[in-house]
Amino acid sequence: MIELINLSKTYPDGKVAVDHLNYKIDSGIVSIIGRNGAGKTTLLRMLSTQLRPSSGDALIDGISIVREPEKVRKKIVSIPQEASPIGILTAYEQVNMFLAARGFSFHEAKNAAIKALKDVGLDAMHKPTDTLSGGMKRKMFVAIALAANADTVFLDEPTTGLDPLSRFEVWSAIKKLNGNVILTTHYMEEAEELSKKIYMMESGKIIKSGSVDELISNMRNLVRIESYKPMENSYTIGSLYIKYVDKSEAYRYIKMDYNVKPVSIEDLFIMRGVTLES
Ligand SMILES: Nc1ncnc2c1ncn2[C@@H]1O[C@H](COP(=O)(O)OP(=O)(O)OP(=O)(O)O)[C@@H](O)[C@H]1O
């Protein structure tokens, strides 16, 4: 379990990126969602001890990120957004290297690397990583986390830039991770697919949290109507107009040729007047 205690980060230019968070983050896979600049990466970098908080603290399974960062580092694996493999090395060599640096013996590292790479479905483990697709490279990083058997894994936007099929494959790999897995994402379907709990961030604060069902519980009676023609009382995203009506009106809109969709977590952001991908 991760406990945030008044955790804040203000950058030297005065930007408050994370604003006095007090939260208990459940174990299992959880997602932090929010638009660009909401503070997701800053939060993850503090929790993974890459960035010192301006004030406050966080406890990872009871260990303080401020007072005992070395101890925290032994229990976590953090895969940053910008992580890129060493192209001339194979996936097997890189997972192996990571495990050796973490104190695994030669045999332990070899066995754990092969098992994890097989588990995430990376059959091309002996090819140089610069010959692998974006999805395969991402799977290699998930294999690192899996092989290390870390108590807590941080994944910052693990599937950004991947095509839908590769994203799906990386999701299967992520589902194999044990312990606490905290991931950030812009993709609502990713958060819905992977996490039992979702934390919504905006301007450095967590504005809502809950399971998908809990988060959209007060919108259960609504459907989303989309049109490229202006509609009254609608929100606009680019050239798309969106509004929400009672389910009982859905058929009327379908007959008028509107696009009618069930509501999802994305709609929570739209109703607040923000879109996730800017
Ligand atoms: N080194 C820095 N110095 C000053 N401001 C920063 C720095 N890093 C991030 N910020 C600002 O802090 C805020 C939060 O940024 P952060 O990267 O944590 O958001 P994010 O939710 O991860 O965004 P994205 O989804 O685009 O990665 C933004 O306004 C950003 O411009």
ipTM, two decimals, is 0.97
Provide the 10 A C-beta neighbour count for residue 16: 16
Q: Do 140 and 91 meet the contact criterion of CB atoms below 8 Å apart?
A: yes
Supply the residue whose CA is at minimum distance from atom 29 of ligand 1.
Answer: 37
Residue 274's pLDDT is what? 56
Measure 130 CA to ligand 1 centroid, in angstroms: 29
Measure 236 CA to ligand 1 centroid, in angstroms: 25
Question: Ligand 1 pocket test: which of 21, 40, 160, 205 has the largest number of ligand atoms within 8 Å of its C-beta?
Answer: 40
Cα–Cα distance for residue pair 114/122, rounded to 1 Å: 10
Q: Give DSSP secondary structure letters for 89-113.
A: SBHHHHHHHHHHHTT--HHHHHHHH
Residue 275's pLDDT is what? 53
Measure 107 CA to ligand 1 centroid, in angstroms: 41
Q: Convert the pLDDT of each residue in 123-146 to its tens digit.
A: 888 999 999 888 888 889 999 999
- For residue 277, pLDDT over 50 is answered with no
Rounded mean pLDDT of the chain? 90
- For residue 52, pLDDT over 90 is answered with yes
The pTM for the full model equals: 0.87
Higher per-residue pLDDT: 173 or 11 = 11
Q: Which two tokens stand for residue 169?
A: 């494959």
User: From the CB of 37, is ligand 1 less than 6 Å away?
Assistant: yes
User: From the CB of 179, is ligand 1 less than 6 Å away?
Assistant: no
Cα separations in angstroms, 236 against 30, 75, 178: 29, 44, 40
Q: Do 212 and 25 meet the contact criterion of CB atoms below 8 Å apart?
A: no
Average pLDDT over residues 212-229: 89
Ramachandran angles phi, psi of 243, nearest 5°? -140, 165
Atom of ligand 1 nearest to the CA of 13: 4
Q: Convert the pLDDT of each residue in 155-199 to its tens digit.
A: 999 888 788 888 888 898 899 888 899 999 888 888 989 998 999
User: From the CB of 215, is ligand 1 less than 6 Å away?
Assistant: no
